[in-house]
Amino acid sequence: MSYKLYNRDGSGGFVVEAALALAEAPFELVRIESKPSTPLPESFRAINPRGQVPVLITPDGTMMTESAAILIHLAACHRDKDLGPSPGTPDHARLLRWLVFMSVNIYESMLHQIYPERFTSDADGTAGVIDAAKHRLRDGLAILEQQLENSDWLVGEQMSVADLYLAMLNAWHGAGRGFAQCDALTHRVAGHPVVAPLWQRNFDHRLKTKWGREG
């Protein structure tokens, strides 16, 4: 049996697709035909009532949402593929820390900027939501930047699912904005031979920087 991944090109499910490819796990990719930052078809709520991608159906039929949670699960299920450190180790604790940190502080800050109307009941309050989110985003990236000062990767000595997640988020933020270590990591991830074709299909059509091929 194989996995089934619902996603749309350019969305957060890229990291799940990349993790599945690195794990050499068989999966069916169901590509939703809509542009990032626009509503998904209402019919998709029959699959995920929240109306969001990615959705991963595991080989036993379990439905998973939330990219960070899916990455943690895949790393645990495919330990022989070195997607992350072994559970119970200090490095695994760090993996959990950074994935949750990025989900809560980086990804959510980006959502506040893109969809400010979701986070205020004040019709005149969206500008304040966006401004606060920009500051929170930069503060979060600064912490990750410091973490990378003496290491190529967020956790341990090799690329993990945490690096996939950071690379995607940093690429969305944009190159050359004062986070040189995050930019360098993003180039390393985007240039990985397994990740590169998936990255290019997902992001070359919407991002100005050709990550993994510039810098």
Question: How many domains, in total, are found in the chain?
Answer: 1
Full residue range of the structural domain in which residue 189 is found: 1-85+148-215
Please check whether residue 49 lies inside any domain of the structure: yes
Which strands make up the sheet holding 63-64, listed edge to edge?
A: 27-31, 3-7, 55-57, 63-64
Average pLDDT of the segment spanning 76-87: 96
The pLDDT assigned to 15 comes to 98
- Record the pTM: 0.94
Please check whether residue 153 lies inside any domain of the structure: yes
Please check whether residue 13 lies inside any domain of the structure: yes
Lowest mean pLDDT among 29-38, 140-149, 165-174: 29-38
Whole-angstrom Cα distance, residue 64 to residue 52? 11
Contact between 215 and 186 under an 8 Å Cβ cutoff? The reply is no
Helix 14-22 with 161-173: angle, nearest 10 deg: 150
CATH of residue 74's domain is: 3.40.30.10
Please check whether residue 23 lies inside any domain of the structure: yes
Please check whether residue 5 lies inside any domain of the structure: yes
Residue 34's pLDDT band, with cuts at 50, 70 and 90, is confident
Please check whether residue 16 lies inside any domain of the structure: yes
Please check whether residue 108 lies inside any domain of the structure: no
